[in-house]
Structure 1
Amino acid sequence: MPSSRPSASLTDWSTHTGVTLLHTIATAVVGLSEITDLEAFALPYPAEAQRALDRTVLACLLRGAQPPASLPELLTWCRTRPIEDWPLELPQDAFGPDDFLIDPDSARPTQLCHEWWVRARDSAAEQYDRIVIHWAMRLCRESEDPESYTAFRRLLVERPVLTGNDMFEVATDLAFEPVREIIGQIYDHVPDNFCQDGVYVTCARCLTLLVPLTDGGWWCERDRCRRQGQPPLGRRLRADEVGSLSQLKRPLRQFVTGPGRAEADLERELRALRLPVEMWPGFDAYDLRITFPDGWVWAVDVKDWAHPGLLGRAATMVRPEPPYDEACWVVPQYRVDARRDYLEVYARNRTHVAGGLPLLTDRRLVAAARARLRGDRGPAARLVQTGDDTSTDGASDA
């Protein structure tokens, strides 16, 4: 049920000094991970990392706490201390239980860390993933080729890893003609630290490359996979056979491939109910357009975020075209299973520009679709509940 506590606002968060510092630390961690191993550093530190250390030390001293003595010690904090144990002045919804900035097993930035990093960037500047998506939209619109845009989106969801042969196949596929120049820029060469005993391995669930661990195991960067246990091994790619190996840049893997897997799962479930589902209609106005036999239309955007407060603060109304009767955002059920107050925290931090946008679990959405197909027109078959604009009752389906 929705909380009766006052809604948080952007102003409320901005009055907490720890929020800006957490943005700074996350930015430093992500930046360091892109240039070196997070477990090995030498002076001088990069400017952003030194800034994060200096500000953390100052914040600790102001609160009478023992500060980290060096950047390696600050990174140890990120890996071994949940954010709730940091001596920072943060709002209630800025962290959840056992939230880390660096994964304890792999020493890689967590998805949560990347979300704090994204929210730290200048709000006037487009996020990298959105720049790529908008670029593809523009090129496909100019070519009057919506099918190419859909093919491009499916490429990012279904093929985040490409061998040299895969890249040649994509480069010569006429379906990608309008966006060919983009594809060559959004895949990076895979570094050697993804290789173990001469083999690269993908995750059979999310299709991204697994990271080898020192104990011989493998780590998946997707929260969803880790919560389901050890990642199932997918494609085994021998370095001496595949030649060049490329993967999507991390922002695209996180904010397009990850949610895209959830979108594909939802599409499959809804089609199993014999419902027509259009993916990314109107050049990605939203993710799924679901049309019922009586002509009623739902518009759905899928968001797979670790942090419900940041998701609430990022919420905006679903674009009105193509037209629909009801709209919502959807989060995978495992997020609510992992954090029972997920929907409540989202609602508490949702901004006024979202216009009361409801957030449902994917399980709740499918249940509502089944109810509507049975002829139900009551609350169980609706996305927006009458007299309650929060619509966060999906937790009951956990």
Structure 2
Amino acid sequence: MTFDGHDAVPAANWAAHDGVPLLRTLATALLALEAQTGLDSFTLPYPAEAQRALDRTVLACLLRGARPPAGLTELVDRCRTVPLEDWPLSLPADLVEPGDRLLDEMSGRPTELCHEWAGRSSDSAAVFRDREVVLAALRLCREYGEEEAYTAFRGLLVHRPVLTVAELYEVTGDMVLEPVYELVRRVYKPVPESYLRDGAYTACGRCLTLLTPVGADEWWCERDRCRRQGPPPPGRRIACDGPFTVSQLERPLRQFVTGPGRAEADLEHELLALGLQVRMWPGYDAYDLQVVFPDGWRWAVDVKDWAHPTFLGRSARPVPQDPPYDEAFWAVPVHRAAARPHYVAAFERARPASAGDLPLLTDAELVTRAKRRLRTCKGDRRA
């Protein structure tokens, strides 16, 4: 997932649909509540976003003859238990699939979809926080003339979303990362006690983010992809030695950098296994992967790990021409397309004309296409 400073198509394009602004307001409010009080208890005064979400939801229900929530607690409970398709909202096509919720039914935590609604809408105070941080890293590394520093920074966010105190100290002493020392300190935050079980924090063995204890002995992982693979496997266990034992990346960065970055790394691994040359984040992150075939043909690939194809389509734009390439693609993890029927078609309907015919493939389709092209390079007529 590259960062070049361009915003998505303005959300005002959807202003005619009364359900869209309300869903954005709800998602933003849920994230504000989680950050301020936690979603299992509320303290006065409520964040302004939460009160605004409650007021607007009550009005929407009354206008449509539905029973409004009696208060904030009931509103939050509805966000967890009632699928969005059952809310009294007027929504355009492609926005809601059966089972979509703003809060996870099991853990009560904001879903990835909730973060996309809040983080990709223009009226959110936290809009594009991930883009703000990564663009800051780009600026700092360019000022130092250190592309290697930027690559190391992106790799850090992808492969090490959780750091102990000792590890954070080690990272901020790494000379390669010198241009972004202060940025690293700002984006890794102390972990709240809600992640603790039996005096320790536990990372997911698959996606490396911290697991949330649920019930007596279960775990919940914040990544959709991980949950679809089955119960998350507990990985590294870190004993709690005090309030600042462990730090983790801010959620917008885990959502929009670490998540796609894991998909980028998986794709890199598969393409390297085919014998192709792969360069990550070339040209200060002009795009995610530069793939070079034996005959010199070059692909530019941007990986987009988004739950919602319409949001992704609205953000579509041509892949930058430098470093040069012969073909360009956007790729989405296959599990995203499997989770939403007609994912690619919804992307294409939402894609603006300015993006041209930018193709979207699943990562599996991209690897298959690479294999086919390799056979062509080798003169295999079966290609």
TM-score calculated relative to the size of structure 1: 0.89
Structure-2 residue corresponding to 1:195? 196
In 2: Cα distance, 1:76 partner to 1:241 partner: 32
Letter in 1 for 2:241: D
SS state at 1:197 partner: coil
1:222-371 superposed matches below 5 A: 222-240=223-241, 244-371=245-372
Match of 2:94, SS state, is: helix
Residue segments in structure 2 that go unaligned for 5+ positions in a row: 1-8
CA shift for structure 1 position 29: 0.6
The answer on whether the counterparts of 1:9 and 1:351 sit within 8 Å (CA) in structure 2 is no
C-alpha contact (below 8 Å) 2:26/2:53 kept by paired residues: yes
Deviation at 1:241, TM superposition (A): 8.7
Deviation, structure 1 residue 242: 10
For residue 107 of structure 2, what is the aligned residue in structure 1? Answer: 106
- Partners of 1:40 and 1:261 lie apart in 2 by 33
- Mapping for residues 1-398 of structure 1, pairs under 5 Å: 13-122=14-123, 127-240=128-241, 244-375=245-376
Contact 1:298 1:326 in 2 (8 A): yes
Matched residue of 1:289: which SS?
Answer: strand
Query: Who is 1:386 aligned against?
Result: none
Partner amino acid, structure 1, of 2:293: F
TM-superposition CA deviations, 1:9-40 (whole Å, max 9, x none): 97763311111111111110111111112122
Shift of 1:357: 1.3
Deviation per CA, 1:83-123: give whole Å up to 9, x if none: 11100011111111110000011110000000000122349
Counterpart-to-counterpart distance in 2, 1:265 and 1:115: 22
Contact between 1:200 and 1:237, CA under 8 Å: does it hold in 2?
yes
Distance in 2 of aligned mates of 1:177 and 1:333: 36
The aligned length equals 372
Could you tell me how far apart the structure 1 residues matched to 2:161 and 2:292 are?
Answer: 30
Cα deviation for residue 247 of structure 1 reads 0.4
SS of the residue corresponding to residue 306 of structure 2 reads: coil
CA distance in 1, matches of 2:241, 2:264: 35
- The answer to whether the Cα contact below 8 Å between 1:24 and 1:120 also exists between their aligned partners in 2 is no
| CA spacing shift, 1:122–1:103, aligned 2, 3 Å | same
Of residues 167-176 and 34-43 in structure 1, the stretch that sits farther from structure 2 once superposed is 34-43
Provide the secondary structure at the position in 1 that maps to 2:247: strand
RMSD value, Cα: 2.1
Are the equivalent residues in 2 in contact too, given 1:330–1:359 (CA < 8 A)?
yes
Deviation at 1:343, TM superposition (A): 1.1
Q: Which moved more, 1:104-113 or 1:316-325?
A: 316-325
Partners in 1 of 2:335 and 2:63 — Cα distance? 38
CA distance in 2, matches of 1:258, 1:9: 24
Q: TM-score, normalised by structure 2?
A: 0.93
Q: Letter of the aligned partner of 2:168 in structure 1?
A: M
Give distance in 1, aligned partners of 2:39 and 2:264.
Answer: 32
SS of 1:31's partner is: helix
Runs of 4+ in 1 over 6 A off after TM superposition: 8-12, 123-126
SS at match of 1:188: strand
Q: Is the 8 A contact 1:10 1:313 kept in 2?
A: no
* Gap change, CA 1:124 and 1:183, over 3 Å in 2: closer
Structure 1 counterpart of 2:335, which letter?
Y
Q: Distance in 2 between matches of 1:10 and 1:250?
A: 22
Q: Give me the whole-angstrom Cα distance separating, in 2, the residues matched to 1:323 and 1:122.
A: 36
Check the 8 A contact 1:202/1:235 in 2, yes or no: yes
Is the Cα–Cα contact under 8 Å of residues 186 and 249 in structure 1 kept in the other structure?
A: yes
Alignment partners' CA distance in 2, 1:351 and 1:109 = 29
